[in-house]
Structures are given as structure tokens and as C-alpha cells.
């Protein structure tokens, strides 16, 4: 059955690949991009199925107008994909206030406002699905990505709570959590000016690994998108979807470590009760 999707950040990376795959199978896509000419080639090949909207996800008013226009034009939208985002690269004290504001405005607030704007329409039509493209970085952390992790851990907490709020309306969520994947993510990093004080720290190790290519990237972008689409098509999708062996192993390891830590604190935890 043909489905209709909204995808933010559709000009490149996973968003672009997802848009191409969905159009190829006959679905309809409302693709948001910052520049309207970013998808000209796809528009020429898929005039009927592709609707392109210029949108900066940090513009909340524009976001609401875009979502309202999409639902008004297409009547029903089955799946909303919150994909727009980027990485801020630098130790916490190296990044500027302006860089922090942009990171949170795009990855966290932009995603929150897209979801908030979509919920009334999904509720009125009797349900739907929201895919939030997060990251393994929504459950684990790398030095030198602290603000990126703040945005991803934040959106995961938001989604987990909202999923409980709207489940009675037939709206469900998927948190897609890719590990390092062969996209243009690294090329799109907003990097802080590095300081020598962090050269001999774990932050410096990650910095060098990115620069010299030794930071291993196992994930395949097309296969990652295939897995997200399959989950979105499923009757009962998982709330969290780890994508790639790196994500599976790193998230598993982090969860096991947290369980060991919390279980060791049982007596202390219970001692704080009234």
C-alpha cells in the first residue's frame, strides 16, 4: 500500500537516500530542505510523488506552517521522519556559546517542535508513526562530542515520554540509532577551534582518529536506511532500533555497565527511602 512520508533534512545523507528509496517504490514524500534546488534531480524524475519544502528546522513558526501545509495538501501523512541534524565537534570548553545554541536549536529543539507540530494532525487522522533519527550517541558517548550527545540523549528522553503520552491515539515512535555510518556526517561537522591542552586526552585521541581516518566506520548508509524503512513498515516496530554492529556492541556494553553499577548501589538506594 502506498504511504506518505514527511522527511526533514532530505538533501543529503540518510534523508536523501531514504527519499530516493521511498520514491522508487512508489510512495509519496514531503521532503524538507534548506535550499529548494537541492532535490531538483529527484523532482524531475518524480513530479507526482515528491513535494519539496524549504525549511530551516530552527524556525519554529516556519515548521508549524510547513507541517500544516503538508497535511492540508495531502490529507493524510503516515510517517514523519525527524532526520535533520548535524554534529558539533570539540571538547565542552572549546565550543562557543553560539555553536552550542545552534546545536541544541537544530538537533533538540528542532526535533521537538517537528514532533509537537505533527501530533495534532496524527491524532485527528487516527494515528501514525514518527521516526526520530537519533544515534548510538543517544545512549553512549564519545569524548569531543559532548554537545552532540546532549542533543541526542535529550531527544531520546523526550521521545520516550511522548510515546507514552500518545500511544492511546495510535501514534507510535521509532528511535533509529545508527553507529558510525558512511555518510557525509564528518564533512558536515561544526568544529571548535582545538586547544593544545586536550591533545593528550581522550578528546585528542578522538580528534586524531577522525582526522587520520583511523576512527572505524562500519555502517553502510543504504542498508541503514533499508532497516529504518522496514521498521517503519512493521506492524509493531521497536521503540529503539540499533543500526550497525558498532551501535549494537557499544550500546550493549554501556547498558551492561550501567546495570552493574546500579545493582551495586542497591543498599544505598534503598537507604534513602522514608
Which has more confidence, 32 or 180?
Answer: 32
Q: Say yes or no to pLDDT of 11 above 70.
A: yes
The residue with cell 518524480 is 46
Q: Which of 86, 121, 142, 148 is catalytic?
A: 148
Quote the domain boundaries for residue 263.
4-271
Asked about 148 being catalytic, the answer comes back as yes
How many CB atoms are closer than 10 A to CB 93?
A: 11
Q: What is the mean pLDDT of residues 223-234?
A: 97
Residue 130 has pLDDT above 90, yes or no: yes
| Overall average pLDDT of the 141-158 stretch | 97
- For the stretch 253-268, pLDDT in tens is 999 999 999 999 999 9
Residue in 155, 178, 124, 129 with CA at minimum distance from that of residue 57: 155
Rounded average pLDDT over 111-115? 98
DSSP-based three-state secondary structure for 65: helix
Section 123-145 average pLDDT: 96
**pLDDT-based confidence at 187, cuts 50/70/90?**
low
The number of folded domains in the chain is 1
Q: Are 41 and 48 in contact (CB under 8 A)?
A: no
pLDDT at 38: 85
Nearest to 77 by CA among 191, 232, 225, 245: 232
Predicted pLDDT at 15: 94
The percent of residues in the chain predicted with pLDDT above 70, rounded, is: 99
- Out of 3, 118, 142, 152, the active site residue is 152
CA angle 233, 163, 12 (to 5 degrees): 55
How far apart (Å, rounded) are the C-alpha atoms in residues 207 and 114? 32
Contact criterion met (CB below 8 Å) for 110 and 84? yes
Confidence of residue 226 (pLDDT cuts 50, 70, 90): very high
Cell of 78: 503516515
pLDDT confidence of 186, banded at 50, 70, 90?
low
Q: Is the pLDDT of residue 194 over 80?
A: yes
Angle, vertex CA 147, rays to CA 216 and CA 115, nearest 5: 100
- The catalytic position among 134, 135, 146, 250 is 134
Q: Are strands 190-191 and 128-133 parallel, antiparallel or unpaired?
A: unpaired
pLDDT over threshold 90, residue 56: yes
Q: What φ, ψ does residue 4 adopt, rounded to 5°?
A: -120, 135
Q: What are phi and psi of 10, to 5 degrees?
A: -90, 5
- For the segment 62-111, what is each residue's pLDDT rounded down to a tens digit? 999 999 999 999 989 999 999 999 999 999 999 999 999 999 999 999 99
218 and 246 in contact (C-beta within 8 Å)? yes
Q: Which residue has the higher pLDDT, 212 or 244?
A: 244
DSSP H stretches of helix in 95-199? 97-103, 110-124, 146-166
Told to judge if 118 belongs to the known catalytic residues of this protein, a careful annotator would answer: no
Place of cell 550497525: 244
Separation of alpha carbons 96 and 206, rounded Å: 19
Q: What is the residue-averaged pLDDT of the chain? A: 94
- Cα-trace Rg, the chain: 19
For the question of residue 248 being annotated catalytic, the response is: no
Domain CATH for 34? 3.40.50.720
Residue 47's pLDDT band (boundaries 50, 70, 90)?
Answer: confident
Percent of the chain scoring above 90 in pLDDT = 83
Who wins on pLDDT, 121 or 42? Answer: 121
Q: pLDDT per residue over 206-224, tens digit each?
A: 999 888 877 777 889 999 9
- pTM for this model (two decimals): 0.94
Amino acid at each position: 500500500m502506498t504511504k506518505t512520508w514527511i522527511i526533514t533534512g532530505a538533501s543529503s545523507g540518510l534523508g536523501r537516500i531514504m527519499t530516493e528509496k521511498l520514491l522508487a517504490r512508489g510512495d509519496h514524500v514531503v521532503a524538507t530542505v534548506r535550499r529548494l534546488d537541492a532535490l531538483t534531480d529527484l523532482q524531475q524524475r518524480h513530479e507526482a510523488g515528491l513535494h519539496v519544502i524549504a525549511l530551516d528546522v530552527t524556525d519554529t513558526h516556519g515548521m508549524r506552517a510547513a507541517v500544516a501545509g503538508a497535511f492540508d495538501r495531502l490529507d493524510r501523512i503516515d510517517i514523519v521522519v525527524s532526520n535533520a541534524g548535524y554534529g558539533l565537534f570539540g571538547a565542552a570548553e572549546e565550543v562557543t556559546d553560539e555553536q552550542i545554541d545552534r546545536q541544541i536549536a537544530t538537533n533538540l529543539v528542532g526535533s521537538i517542535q517537528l514532533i509537537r507540530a505533527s501530533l495534532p494532525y496524527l491524532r485527528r487522522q487516527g494515528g501514525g508513526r514518527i521516526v526520530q533519527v537519533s544515534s548510538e550517541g543517544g545512549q553512549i558517548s564519545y569524548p569531543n562530542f559532548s554537545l552532540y550527545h546532549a542533543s541526542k540523549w535529550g531527544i531520546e528522553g523526550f521521545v520516550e515520554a511522548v510515546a507514552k503520552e500518545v500511544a492511546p491515539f495510535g501514534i507510535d515512535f521509532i528511535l533509529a540509532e545508527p553507529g558510525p555510518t558512511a555518510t557525509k556526517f564528518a564533512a558536515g561537522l561544526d568544529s571548535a577551534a582545538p586547544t593544545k591542552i586536550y591533545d593528550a586526552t581522550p578528546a585528542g585521541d578522538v580528534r586524531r582518529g577522525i582526522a587520520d581516518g583511523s576512527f572505524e566506520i562500519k555502517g553502510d548508509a543504504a542498508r541503514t536506511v533499508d532497516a529504518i524503512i522496514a521498521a517503519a513498515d512493521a506492524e509493531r516496530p521497536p521503540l529503539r532500533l540499533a543500526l550497525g554492529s558498532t551501535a549494537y556492541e557499544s550500546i550493549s556494553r554501556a547498558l551492561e555497565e550501567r546495570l552493574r553499577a546500579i545493582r551495586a548501589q542497591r543498599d544505598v538506594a534503598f537507604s534513602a527511602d522514608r
